[in-house]
Structure 1
């Protein structure tokens, strides 16, 4: 499903109109928790990976917009499962500081998690979070995720693994 909607938001498949806000995020200090800031070249490749994930897996992170403003990308949120990830992940990247603290990440991630259980039929999912990223940890906890210290993590950088609980009947 290339599009989801919530009360306030539209989650749509990312496309070329999202390049500028994604570029701005990856090239800024805001991307430090995921290995940034990046050069423009590396930001391009990161964005291409987001787009390619959809073609390879048939799903991926959605561009999150407000209803009625679908050209303005606020975040990338959703299912993520690169070939070297130990588990399926629900991830979130908040593209601008103005979006922080608005509840958009939590609202969009809830929709993405529900989609992963119901439509993708995932049997488990996690979120990988830099230990210093307090706002992201708060989002995971608002979503009901619990720190799983025994779960494997991708790569060699220390991350906290937050496990999302499968709801009854999902």
Structure 2
């Protein structure tokens, strides 16, 4: 029997730890995917489907060498969202994405996590100037992308749905 393993790095910020998504996070992730808050990332979804999402996220690390992290709040140890990179078969390039659970909303957690993920991805995975696919109805995510320095590039399509594609700056590039 062939076994595979991959070391998923941890990334720390002042308030957060980006770490592997584990089955210990299933309750928090399932609660997010059970809510309408997940509508822009493929939800709502039932708990068995969320288990499959966690397996997919971890498998992405094995297949691509990069992927999504759980966002853990240092102060509480709670999983408060997920953030990282996805590059699915058929996509033109890698995407930086984020999901923040309701309890973490409005605390700049998504900004801090995405900024750390993007810097780590550029430094360690060669992921420079990545894109983010954003549903046109997701104004909060578009505002976060712009706060991160990303700029609207074009209208596109993702998994059969319209999306807006935002381009993130290269490392060291400053955008006003």
Tell me, yes or no, whether TM beats 0.5. yes
Counterpart selection for 2:144 from 112, 129, 139 = 139
3-state SS of paired residue (1:52): helix
Q: For structure 1, list consecutive stretches of 5 or more residues without a partner in the other structure.
A: none
3-state SS of paired residue (1:131): coil
The alpha-carbon deviation at position 29 of structure 1 amounts to 1.0
**Counterpart Cα distance in 2 of 1:12 and 1:114:** 15
Note if 1:159 corresponds to 2:159.
no
Deviations 1:115-158 (A, max 9, x none): 111110124300111111111111101100001116x5432101
Q: Which residue of 2 aligns with 1:27?
A: 34
**Counterpart Cα distance in 1 of 2:90 and 2:105:** 29
Counterpart selection for 1:62 from 69, 85, 105 = 69
The alpha-carbon deviation at position 28 of structure 1 amounts to 1.4
Runs of 4+ in 1 over 3 A off after TM superposition: none
Q: Which residue of 2 aligns with 1:76?
A: 82
Note if 1:104 corresponds to 2:109.
yes
Aligned pair count reads 166
The alpha-carbon deviation at position 68 of structure 1 amounts to 4.4
Q: Verify the 8 A CA contact 1:27 1:43 in the aligned structure 2.
A: no
Deviations 1:39-92 (A, max 9, x none): 22322222221121122222211111122433x110100121122322111100
Note if 1:36 corresponds to 2:40.
no
Q: TM-score, normalised by structure 2?
A: 0.87
Q: Verify the 8 A CA contact 1:79 1:90 in the aligned structure 2.
A: yes
Q: Which residue of 1 aligns with 2:97?
A: 91
Q: For structure 2, list consecutive stretches of 5 or more residues without a partner in the other structure.
A: 1-7
Q: Verify the 8 A CA contact 1:85 1:153 in the aligned structure 2.
A: no
Aligned Cα root-mean-square deviation (Å): 1.7
**Counterpart Cα distance in 1 of 2:142 and 2:9:** 27
